[in-house]
C-alpha cells in the first residue's frame, strides 16, 4: 500500500483542518485519534476501515455528508477502489 497524502490547511489553538487524499491503493496507516473530529467528504467513495483486531468494514462517503467521531478511535483507512478519495478532517482541540 502507498501512503495517503495529507495537507494541514488550518492549525490554531481551537482547531486543525487537514485535507486527506487517498489515491487508489493507498492507506493512512494505523493511528489513534487524539481529538474529537469531523470528517467532511469532498468526493463520494467507499473507504475500507481496519480495526486494531484486523476486522474490516466499509464506510460510504457522500459529498458534503459530514460525520463526527469522539477521540480514541483507532484504525487504518484504506482506499481499495479505483478512484481517489478526498476528505477534510476537522480536529477539535480542547
Q: Mean pLDDT over residues 2-20, rounded? A: 97
Spatial contact of 76 and 52, defined as CB atoms under 8 Å apart: no
Q: What is the pLDDT of residue 14?
A: 98
**Residue 83: CATH number of its domain:** 2.60.120.10
R_g of the chain, CA atoms, integer Å: 13
Question: Of 4, 8, 7, which Cα lies nearest the Cα of 27?
Answer: 4
Rounded Cα–Cα distance for residues 57 and 34 (Å): 22
Rounded Cα–Cα distance for residues 88 and 66 (Å): 9
- The residue range of the domain holding 7 is 2-92
Each residue of 21-78: pLDDT tens digit?
999 999 999 999 999 999 999 999 999 999 999 999 999 999 999 999 999 999 999 9
Q: What is the pLDDT of residue 90?
A: 98
Neighbours of 86 (CB within 10 A): 19
Q: Which residue has the higher pLDDT, 80 or 94?
A: 80
- How many domains does the chain fold into? 1
Q: What is the pLDDT of residue 1?
A: 77
Rounded Cα–Cα distance for residues 54 and 94 (Å): 30
* Confidence band of 94 (pLDDT split at 50, 70, 90): confident
Q: What is the pLDDT of residue 35?
A: 98
Provide the phi-psi class of 54: left if phi over 0, else alpha when psi is between -120 and 50, else beta. left
Amino acid at each position: 500500500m502507498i501512503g495517503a497524502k495529507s495537507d494541514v490547511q488550518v492549525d490554531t489553538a481551537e482547531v486543525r483542518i487537514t485535507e486527506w487524499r487517498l489515491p487508489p491503493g493507498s492507506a493512512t496507516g494505523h493511528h489513534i485519534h487524539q481529538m474529537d473530529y469531523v470528517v467532511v467528504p469532498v468526493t463520494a467513495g467507499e473507504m475500507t476501515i481496519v480495526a486494531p483486531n484486523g476486522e474490516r468494514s466499509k464506510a460510504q462517503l457522500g459529498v458534503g455528508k459530514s460525520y463526527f467521531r469522539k477521540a480514541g478511535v483507532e484504525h487504518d483507512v484504506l482506499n481499495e477502489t479505483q478512484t481517489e478519495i478526498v476528505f477534510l478532517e476537522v480536529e477539535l482541540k480542547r
